[in-house]
Every structure is written in structure tokens, then in C-alpha cells.
């Protein structure tokens, strides 16, 4: 069993995945730089317990992180509680993906694992949308070349800006309202956030296809709020909440695979 860890700006998501790419369990905790290795260790042990996976069955660990401040405590928790030296997605790691942007070092590990998953599972020529703290749109071609990306504020960031910057607007839960025609502040804000984001997503995808010059590009989505958008548009071909876990497994096999 491989433990895959995706450390993002808002959450740390963990997945246990077997050799047949079956997800045995997932776990999510908030990302807090001030946590100790023991606190993370308790989360690791609890995750294995509720997934019915004994520690002895965790063969190895791979981490994708965009939060450097968390790495010291988290990697130490793995050494202390799981007795493993984790593989870190970063420089020197074989991914099967070639970064062809102007500044390859600027491309985060989260983008690389998603791209590796889509390229190896679906063959490339794809736009990958990751609905996270920021929402990213990345294009990878049939050669496994990561060529273009678009970054916009995530849905939660946009909603928070509303109630934090406008004194009379309340905090809302991000769910699709019954209609775009809001008749109160709450439903009006939800309509603006959700439908506005659907429209932004559709326009960016169409514009990327137009400028790339291909209309046969498939679109894959992932990320916590991705399902909200996927259910409301035909522009996304497939939603996979476990895309990062699958990408990390592929990368792991290229580096320490059995």
C-alpha cells in the first residue's frame, strides 16, 4: 500500500492506494504550518486506523507539496511514525512529463502530479482544471509536454472577498442556488459566485482551445469544489477527485517502483 500526500495551501489530502490503483481510503486535514510532527503523526495513525490498513502494510510514502513551511514537520512525522523516508515530488524526480513553460521551476508539484496522471492514463492533449485554493487550467500535449497554464482565484477566495471586503454581506456556503435570479442577499451571492465561476470556467476553456488551435482537446477536472462546476457544465469531460493520488503513484513507480 502506498501513502500519497498532497499538501496544498488550504488542505492536506492523503490517500492510500494499492498496486492496482485502487483507493483504499482518503483523509483531509487543514494545512497549518505550526503543527508539530507528533500532531501530524497522530493524523497519519488515525487515517490508517479508519481505513483498516495496518501501519505494517504501508510500504512507502510520496509527497507533493506547495507549502514549504509544512515539510519539515510532516516529513519528520513520517519518519517517526511510519518509519519511512518519503519520496518528494521535486527536482531530480522522474515524472514522464516535460515542463516547457518559460520558467519550469515555477510550476508547482501539484500541477506536475495532475499532468502525470492525465498524460499516462489518458494520453495527453488535455486541459486539466484543478479547483483548489487557486483554480488552475493546464494544457499538456500528446508528447507529455506541459505547455500552458492559466491561474485564477479559487471559488472560496472569491466568496471570501465578498464578505470580508463588503461590510453588510454575510458569509455564505458555496452551493448552487435554485435559480440565478436571487431574491435575497444569500441567494444572490451564491448565484454570483457559482454561476459566475461556471461562466469563467467555460470561457477560459473555450479561449484556450481557440488559441491552441484545436477543438479535440479533452478537459479533466479535479479538486474539492470541482464537482460543483462539473455537474453544471458540458465543457468538462471527466471529474476525478483522486487525480493527484493517481499521479503520485505513477511518479512513485518511475522512481521507486517495484
Is 18 in the active site?
A: no
Least Cα distance to 31 among 39, 22, 23, 20 occurs for 39
Strands (E), 40-112: 60-65, 87-88, 98-99
Residue 180: phi and psi, rounded to 5, are -75, -15
Instruction: Answer whether 99's CB lies under 8 Å from 146's CB.
Output: yes
Cα separation, 157 vs 162, in Å, equals: 9
CB 245 within 8 A of CB 7: no
Catalytic residue among 6, 110, 114, 138: 110
Strands (E), the chain: 2-7, 11-17, 23-30, 60-65, 87-88, 98-99, 126-131, 134-140, 145-153, 218-222, 238-239
- List, by residue number, the catalytic residues: 110
Amino acid at each position: 500500500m502506498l501513502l500519497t500526500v498532497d499538501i496544498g495551501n488550504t488542505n492536506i489530502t492523503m490517500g492510500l492506494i494499492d498496486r492496482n490503483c485502487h483507493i483504499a481510503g482518503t483523509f483531509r486535514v487543514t494545512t497549518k504550518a505550526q503543527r508539530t510532527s507528533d500532531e501530524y503523526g497522530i493524523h497519519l495513525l488515525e487515517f490508517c486506523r479508519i481505513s483498516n490498513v495496518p501501519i505494517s502494510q504501508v510500504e512507502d510514502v510520496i509527497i507533493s507539496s506547495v507549502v514549504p513551511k509544512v515539510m519539515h514537520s510532516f516529513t519528520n512525522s513520517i519518519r517517526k511514525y511510519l518509519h519511512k523516508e518519503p519520496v518528494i515530488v521535486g527536482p531530480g524526480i522522474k515524472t514522464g512529463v516535460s515542463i516547457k513553460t518559460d520558467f519550469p521551476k515555477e510550476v508547482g508539484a501539484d500541477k506536475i502530479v495532475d499532468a502525470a496522471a492525465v498524460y499516462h492514463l489518458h494520453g495527453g492533449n488535455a486541459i486539466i482544471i484543478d479547483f483548489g485554493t487557486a483554480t488552475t487550467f493546464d494544457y499538456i500535449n500528446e508528447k507529455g509536454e506541459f505547455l500552458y497554464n492559466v491561474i485564477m482565484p479559487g471559488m472560496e477566495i472569491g466568496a471570501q472577498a465578498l464578505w470580508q471586503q463588503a461590510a453588510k454581506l454575510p458569509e455564505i456556503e458555496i452551493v448552487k442556488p435554485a435559480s440565478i435570479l436571487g431574491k435575497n442577499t444569500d441567494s444572490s451571492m451564491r448565484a454570483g459566485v457559482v454561476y459566475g465561476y461556471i461562466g469563467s470556467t467555460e470561457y477560459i476553456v473555450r479561449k484556450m482551445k481557440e488559441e491552441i488551435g484545436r477543438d479535440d482537446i479533452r478537459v479533466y477536472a479535479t479538486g474539492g469544489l470541482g464537482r460543483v462546476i462539473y455537474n453544471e457544465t458540458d465543457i468538462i469531460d471527466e471529474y476525478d477527485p483522486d487525480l493527484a493520488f493517481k499521479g503520485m503513484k505513477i511518479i512513485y513507480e518511475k522512481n521507486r517502483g517495484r
